[in-house]
Amino acid sequence: MIGNWKLHGNRVENAERLAALKEAGPWQAEVAVCVPFPYIPEVALALQGSRIAWGAQDCSAHESGAYTGEVAAPMLAEFGCRYVIVGHSERRALHGETDQQVADKAKRALAHHLTPIVCVGETLAERDAGQTDEVVKRQLSAVIHTLGHCISQVVVAYEPVWAIGTGRTATPEQAQAVHARLRRQLQAATEKADLISLLYGGSVKPDNAAALFAQPDIDGGLIGGASLKAAEFAAICRAAA
């Protein structure tokens, strides 16, 4: 269960949210929060010794150099990050990230012992055009090709773009169909495909979480808005059990 805070938070809110989250645990599921870059040091201190991991929402495909504004994977590793989100639909749409750039970021993250959460998903126009399978296959193929046998070390998150922050959610059956497709693609690439966690992201809430997580190929969630409310996020984490 990964909470993605996106561009939200301040020092007071963050401290209150993390304290409430620690109080609500522990859970049977693995739990982590991916937070804005400036807050990573404080979040690391707040969560030190707890069972909640932390991570970042992006990383550079470069190790170092003249890349103003970028944050490198080894910098994240210095602060104990376990995860980093790469290829979120908002990064693809707003920053023009390509499938290959996402794959390169995943490779850089793995080189520094960070687990990349590789996001794939289709827009509403692509779904309406019947292109869902084609789109997610293309996005994941770039990562498989770039990482080779290391693909078994990533987490994959399916996030239908039309269901992010819209209040719309894919039905459990719709989500499972895409997750099953992704699982088959991974099985063709590695014998360890069943060890790769496939997360669903797209307006997951306490009232729909259990039905989504009951699907055979949905192993957890990448939670956006609901992760900003400790009680809601805790309820979703409980549903994962």
Q: What is residue 143's predicted lDDT score, i.e. its pLDDT?
A: 98
Q: What is residue 203's predicted lDDT score, i.e. its pLDDT?
A: 85
Q: Which one is catalytic: 88, 90, 97, 122?
A: 88
Cα four-point dihedral sign 199, 175, 184, 106: negative
Q: What is residue 169's predicted lDDT score, i.e. its pLDDT?
A: 72
CATH architecture type of domain 2-239: Alpha-Beta Barrel (3.20)
Distance CA 106, CA 146 (A): 9
> How many other C-beta atoms can be found within 10 angstroms of the C-beta atom of residue 10?
8
Nearest to 85 by CA among 41, 54, 112, 52: 54
Question: Angle, to 10 degrees, between the axis of helix 172-189 and the axis of helix 206-213?
Answer: 40
pLDDT tens figures, 145-156? 999 999 999 999
7 burial via Cβ count (<10 Å: 0-12, 13-18, 19+): exposed
Has 225 been labeled as part of a binding site? yes
Q: What is residue 116's predicted lDDT score, i.e. its pLDDT?
A: 98
Q: Is residue 166's pLDDT more than 90?
A: no
Is 88 labeled as catalytic in the residue annotation?
A: yes
Q: Is residue 167's pLDDT more than 80?
A: no
Q: Which two tokens stand for residue 134?
A: 């084609």
Q: Which residues contact 114 (CB under 8 A, 6 or more apart)?
A: 55, 59, 73, 76, 77, 81, 82, 83, 84
Q: Is residue 89's pLDDT more than 80?
A: yes
Is 126 labeled as catalytic in the residue annotation?
A: no
Has 203 been labeled as part of a binding site? yes
Has 224 been labeled as part of a binding site? yes
Ordered by start, the domain boundaries in the chain are 2-239
Q: Which one is catalytic: 90, 97, 122, 159?
A: 159
Distance CA 162, CA 103 (A): 23
What are the respective helix, strand and coil percentages of the chain, to the nearest 5? Answer: 50, 15, 35
Q: Is residue 162's pLDDT more than 90?
A: no
